[in-house]
Amino acid sequence: MTEGRDYDVADVQAQNDDGLHVIASVRTNNTRINSTSSITVTDNGKVIFGPATREDSAWAERIAAPGKGLHALRAECGHTNSTPVFCRLETDQRHAGP
């Protein structure tokens, strides 16, 4: 997937009704104490994760995107005390189609 600044997008085809799993991650160079970062993931415009906030400058979450067919995924990330923020989506290739 393409790593964006504060978002990342992917169009992925699921081959079966189980859908697929994606890993959304956020990272920043901020090392300040008490800083928080957040991730929100949508699938075809519907929120499937978040907004979730943690007191970490980098973290990831494995998220289910159920259902066969095209999944238009978008992850949006934020950070309270730092820019740039790097947001990334990765797919579970065992269930994803071309």
pLDDT digits (tens, 9 = 90+) for 21-62: 999 999 876 655 666 789 999 999 999 999 998 888 789 999
Domains within the chain, CATH numbers bracketed: 7-97 (2.60.40)
What is the reported pTM? 0.83
Per-residue H/E/C for 20-59: EEEEEEEEECCCCCCCCEEEEEEECCEEEEEEEEECCCEE
Average pLDDT of every residue of the chain: 82
Residue 1 is predicted with a pLDDT of 43
Mean local confidence (pLDDT), 86-95: 74
Asked if residue 7 lies in contact with residue 40, where contact means CB atoms within 8 angstroms, the answer is no
Instruction: Please list the residues that pair with 42 across neighbouring strands.
Output: 47, 74
Torsion of CA 92, 73, 12, 7, to 10 degrees: -80
